[in-house]
Structure formats: structure tokens, C-alpha cells
């Protein structure tokens, strides 16, 4: 499939891979250990952000997820819409929040930033492309329907559209 003029192209699920480009929100230098995020209290330890107790004297630096939230600059967009969505909204949104809780427990940088009502559905923004993909896959597995992925490699941005 060819990319469109704006750099977007539809993907098949099996084409989605781990991050291929450098995310500008990820630290370009190795952080001192331990480092604590002053906004969410996540700890950078053993080369990754984790939910750990903060040791005394920990260096402080805002984590990439809190930085994205502060800048209102999502990495993932999940649009859920359609007649079925409207009639099952609470159940589907509960599933999306459960996926976030599950992923966030192990990976502090994977969070839902906002949920916004849009025509015929909702738009969920996420701090990470993996969470956007995971929410789309969970909704599709539970409720079937149509699922599309659009990834822009240059911007490290994933758009997921689920309709039914």
C-alpha cells in the first residue's frame, strides 16, 4: 500500500511492529538512577520507568508520559464509533479503561490522556502507540466490527479506528 500525500498509509495488524523511530519524548541521554517523576511519581530504575517507592535523594525529571500530557501531544488516537458503540458505550469504555490499567501497571508510560466525544463516538488519546493499538485490539476481540490502523512513521503516531 502506498502512503498518501500527508504521509499516512493504512496498515494490516501484522505490520505493526515495535517502535521503529526515535520518539522525541524519550530521553536522549541516560538518566541518573534513580530518577523520580515529580508529577506521577514513577521511578526510572534499571533503564526503564517503573512504579517503585522513591528512594531518598532521587534525581527528579518529568517522565515522557507526563511530558506528553503537559504538552497535549498524543502518540496514539483511538476512535470508537458507530451505532453499536452508542448502544454499548459504557461497556466498551470500561474495557478501554481496563486495558489502560493493565498496561499502566507494568508500563508507567502507557496512559490514556483524554477521552473526547466526537461525531458518532469518542476519541481516546494515549501517551504511547502501543496502548492505542492494545485498546483497538481489545475492543475488536470483544465486539468484532471493523478495525483500521494508520501509522505515520515520521511522526511516530498511530491512529486506530474501530467501528460497528
**3-state DSSP call for residue 130?**
helix
Pairing of strands 146-152, 9-11: antiparallel
* 36-94 tens-digit pLDDT: 999 999 999 999 999 999 889 999 999 999 999 999 999 999 999 999 999 999 999 99
Query: Domains along the chain?
Result: 26-62 (no CATH), 70-163 (3.30.70)
CA nearest neighbour of 149 among 140, 139, 164, 136: 136
What HEC string does 78-99 produce? EEEECHHHHHCHHHHHHHHHHH
- For 13, the grid coordinates are 495488524
* 136-157 tens-digit pLDDT: 999 999 999 999 999 988 888 9
For residue 154, the model assigns a pLDDT of 82
Please answer whether residues 67 and 55 qualify as being in contact, where contact means their C-beta atoms are separated by less than 8 angstroms: no
Element (H, E) at 118: strand 112-118
For residue 19, the model assigns a pLDDT of 45
Please answer whether residues 76 and 121 qualify as being in contact, where contact means their C-beta atoms are separated by less than 8 angstroms: no
* 81-114 tens-digit pLDDT: 999 999 999 999 999 999 999 999 999 999 999 9
- Rounded to two decimals, the pTM is 0.83
Amino acid at each position: 500500500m502506498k502512503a498518501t500525500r500527508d504521509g499516512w498509509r493504512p496498515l494490516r495488524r501484522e505490520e505493526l511492529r515495535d517502535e521503529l523511530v526515535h520518539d522525541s519524548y524519550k530521553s536522549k541521554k541516560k538518566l541518573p538512577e534513580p530518577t523520580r517523576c515529580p508529577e506521577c511519581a514513577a521511578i526510572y530504575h534499571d533503564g526503564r520507568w517503573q512504579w517503585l517507592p522513591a528512594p531518598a535523594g532521587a534525581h527528579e525529571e518529568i517522565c515522557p508520559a507526563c511530558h506528553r500530557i503537559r504538552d497535549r501531544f498524543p502518540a496514539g488516537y483511538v476512535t470508537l464509533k458507530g451505532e453499536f458503540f452508542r448502544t454499548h458505550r459504557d461497556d466498551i469504555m470500561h474495557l478501554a479503561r481496563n486495558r489502560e490499567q493493565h498496561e499502566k501497571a507494568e508500563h508507567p508510560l502507557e496512559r490514556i490522556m483524554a477521552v473526547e466525544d466526537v461525531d458518532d463516538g469518542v476519541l481516546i488519546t494515549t501517551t504511547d502507540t502501543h496502548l492505542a493499538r492494545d485498546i483497538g485490539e481489545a475492543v475488536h476481540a470483544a465486539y468484532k466490527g471493523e478495525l483500521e490502523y494508520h501509522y505515520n512513521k515520521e511522526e511516530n503516531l498511530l491512529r486506530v479506528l474501530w467501528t460497528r
